[in-house]
Amino acid sequence: MPQAIKPSSPIDLSASFAGLSLQTPLVLLSGCVGFGEEYTRVEGFSNADIGAVILKGTTLEARMGNAPHRVYETPSGMLNAIGLQNPGARHVIDNILPHLPHHETQFWANANGSTLEEYTEVARLFDDSPVTAIEINISCPNVKAGGVHFGNNAEMAARVVAAMRPMTKKPLITKLSPNNADIAEIARCCIEAGSDGLSVINTLVGMAVDIESRKPVIGNISGGLSGPAIKPVALWKIHQTRAVAARHGIPILGQGGICSARDGIEFAIAGSDALGLGTGLFYDPLLPAKMLQELRDYLGRHGLGSYRELVGTLAV
């Protein structure tokens, strides 16, 4: 049994991700906290508890999003089909980023596009902004390839990363879809194309039916399933991706159903260099502070002096 760290000994909860130093390993995920302004108004919330906030998905031009209903609670989860409603990259950079507390935590962009040209232009715009990293959402349909999602094809996913790479000096973090057979192969292709980090996983595709109207509940018919229901899938996909990522020295932002410190610890052991919080924030807006205290207690009990010592320690 490892010797417990004495209570007086400090536990290091910082994390390193794609060359960035995070004050904690907790990252608030894109789409769950708007553009970062709303969450700071939650009583009791502190930016000191989080390592970064990923802004809402942003496209080159403004988008209105999907018709309602957009969100639906499911057993142990949530379906959403927002449709990337956002005011466009230029508006975000000029009118939102200047008002965010960059001195308190980091803010990362989340880039989306329907063509390679749109992705590259969004990257170019955000390169000249205060964001410290750019997450690439490759789960968008490629309108020039008949609507096939970039993230479901290794070659197309790599082309997105390769096209964006010359546009920015900031770390590029590719968000991988679980809705494909070989996530490790897509991870490898994205890394070789220039990705500095991986977000694992994006939502699964799901649907709900209104039995009275016999129509889909979600206006878009299908939506992204998140929350505790997808946690086992997320852990498995992280385990599959870890070997490829570790071989290239690429970090993983693990996500998919983290709603407690115990969940986060599982993700860390499986290989998550940082922990993404999304649907869990709807259950408990003060989840970050609670997780950090329980994580600190766990590390001390197990004789670990830092979060980094826990990452990737799965015994198989």
As annotated, the active-site residues are 140
Cα–Cα distance for residue pair 118/150, rounded to 1 Å: 13
Cβ density class 26-53: b for 16+ within 10 Å, e for less: bbbbbbbbebbeebeeeeebebebbbbb
Question: Which ranges constitute the DSSP H helices of the chain?
Answer: 89-91, 116-127, 154-164, 183-193, 231-247, 261-270, 280-283, 287-301
Q: What tokens were used for 274?
A: 């940082």
Q: 79-83 long-range contacts, Cβ below 8 Å, gap at least 24? A: 79/206, 79/207, 79/208, 79/217, 79/218, 79/223, 79/224, 79/225, 80/31, 80/203, 80/223, 80/224, 80/226, 81/218, 81/219, 81/220, 81/222, 81/223, 81/224, 82/31, 83/220
The DSSP line for 33-90 is: STTSTTGGGSTT--GGG-SEEEPPPB-SS-B--PPSP-EEEETTEEEE-----B--HH
Beta strand pairing status for 133-137 and 172-176? parallel
Nearest by Cα to 27 from 302, 281, 223, 313: 281
